[in-house]
Structure 1
Amino acid sequence: MSRKLFGTDGVRGKANTYPMTADMALKLGAAAGRYFRRDGQNRHRVVIGKDTRLSGYMLENALTAGLTSTGMNVLLLGPVPTPAVGFLTRSMRADLGIMISASHNPHHDNGIKFFGPDGFKLSDEAEAEIEAILQGEIRPAQPENIGRAKRIDDGRGRYVEYAKTTFPLRDRLSGLKVVIDCANGAAYKAAPDVLWELGAEVIPVGVAPNGYNINEKCGSTHTQTASETVVQHGADLGICLDGDADRVMIIDETGRVADGDQIMALLAARWAEEGRLSGNTLVATVMSNLGLERYLAGKGIALKRTPVGDRYVVEAMRAGGFNLGGEQSGHIVMTDYATTGDGLIAGLQFLAEMARTGRAASELTRSFETVPQLLKNVRYEAGREPLAAEAVQSAIADGETRLNGSGRLLIRKSGTEPLIRVMGESEDPALLEQVIDRIVEAVASAS
């Protein structure tokens, strides 16, 4: 069964434009409610969280209407990180969890992500079944079985308390000055609270959301603001989250940024040393740098690659029984602690290593030398298939020939935006740029 509405991370689009309309959210809520409501009793519940986008109010209300119309009881969490929804879905014994967020995208976008009762994101098959229900006539509940909605005021506090338990009980962050950039997003209260309660001196950035400024010149996709703040205040570390706090970038005391690959390298090596790395394997996507692969091989650690998307990382982890995985973009998945990427908890694990070793962040974020990598995005018009164009295929084939085994190319559609992502790696940066530019030009002409 195929999916058309769902992408690699739920349903996403521009707010008030299909499919991110109130009408579609209502129908989607009703379809999900009908899928998860297994009997005629009002015992089924769904938790809904959101980030700080203005359109979140509209979508939250529409989803609630659709869900209650099919007899689901709705528990509204308000602004909380995406991993909090996964955690609370399981903790509150809910049948379904929903996060309203477009993650790292600008404020005018939004999205709807679904979690099953185990706290993990829904499978492709489950999403396809919900789409199938959506296409038909959705049977509403009888009047006496309409669901209720209730606001949960302490959802964020429950997550804060849980996040702190993932930090070693014997350790504190006393004496550490930490910049935390919350991207004016879902973790704008939770993340600073956790760090402060663990004893750090906290310098918050991106903690004044207004509905429009999420991810705007801040957060994991714009680390310059936090980097400058770290240097200005002489901080020991910077932690940059994205809009829904499932991604993280680490900034060392010099202002240098470490991506997900460096964070995974540190954690994988440490966990392997402690005998904690299940299957002695790290799961990462095809985007992760060749330098990471070589570093892990030198440590005797296997690297299992997946398609791009944290959901595919998690699926591979669950299938293989692995407990550590992630993406170069900053999704760090630690199934010992969370069911999805958790930027705050990943940051805490990094801080725990600083506390354990007494080493500076700059020493811990440079586990390996990266192979030069270049990524360029090309926007295309809806309905076009630029990758199928003969000129594009020719440019890709020529590029692979020129790299001649000394590097690699990865050209793919984004799963969340109308973009073609053109990425390559090579020990020869000049050659790499020539190859990438030619492919980009061919894709742009076909778009």
Structure 2
Amino acid sequence: MSTATPPRPRPCPAPQPSPARLSPADVVRTGGSGLRSRPMRVFLSALGIAIGIAAMIGVVGISTSSQEELDRKLAALGTNLLTAAPGQSFSGGAARLPDGAVEMVGAIDGVESVSAIGKTDAKVYRNDHVPKEVTGGIGVYAARTDLPGTVGVDVADGRWLTAATHRYPAVVLGAKAAAQLGVYEAGPDAQVWLGGRWFTVVGLLGPNELAPELDSAALVGWPAAEQELDFDGFATTVYARAEGAAVSDVQQVIGATANPENPNEVNVSRPSDALAAKQATDDALSGLLLGLGAVALLVGGVGVANTMVISVLERRAEIGLRRSLGATRGQIRTQFLCESQLLSALGGLGGVALGIAVTAGYAGYQGWPTVVPLWAMAGGVGATLLIGGLAGFYPAVRAARLPPTEALAAA
């Protein structure tokens, strides 16, 4: 009886070694090696990204710095100043505020202080030899002694009109008026020819954002204007400071209070609204510039994509060699994707630094505080990484799909 030979056991296949994993440091090192080998191309590609980011950071930073300066000015000047001025009469002529308008406005509930100026027909000159037909555009106004406290006037040199000087030929010049007349210091030796006689300049005003009409004005005391300049005594602009919570209520009734018989002939304004409107215009322009910055960033992204595609074509031998040595498609893809991200990050960081420098330079030139929001800087870097990822995705996939033999043969 024969016995069957038992089948030999099949040898187990040797386990295939799994591809080595690349650590994050290895990924960054391999991605950076491609950048170091082509420094000029990398610089130009990163520059395209940097210009776009710098434009966006600069626009946001300058706009934010301008807003900060506006907020600072409004905090110093206040947003509770209201003005009432005569408009046009029903017949189309020039209207005027009635006598006692200042006192009536001051009696409104919620009004903290009130003052006024009145325009005269006088002209002011540097000396008495200037022809009378040359006016220079400087208005001469009668002013009350309580004007600085209401409007927030800043006296840059000398002093404001007082009870001792407002009855005499003394004048305070606005900032532009003083520069136009060539008067840079107040004092007994500083005089201007005003209304046919000499007036002593006792004070010079600083610029005023809420009452720009005072910048180009020569201001004399109310009694002196009536005595020396034939001023009729009627106010042409009434300034009122209202309590913060009562600004809207006072604004609604100030016109009817200043001229009860003809309230429609009174123009009421809130000077701080003009500053806010100017800021809104600046914001609209900033939006346009942000769009241009986004276009520049897109162009930079196209430059990154072009650089990476060329890099893949030039480095086919390297890709084939790495694949032959066991690198997987995923590792090749990660390498080139990391390279595009590093390239974009270089441009992004450079663009943020450049944008901050531009903002600081412009804000310093304008005398503004330098403010660059953190979200803008973080958003700039994040946008570059996103652009780098999108721009490098196709070249990375293309590099990963190259067969080793074809890549080596093409090289």
TM-score bin, normalised by smaller chain: under 0.3
Q: How does the TM-score come out when normalised to structure 2?
A: 0.20
Relative contact order: is structure 1 or structure 2 higher (C-alpha 8 Å, sep ≥ 6)?
A: 2
Q: How does the TM-score come out when normalised to structure 1?
A: 0.19
Bigger proportion of residues as helix:
2
Larger Rg: 1 or 2? 2
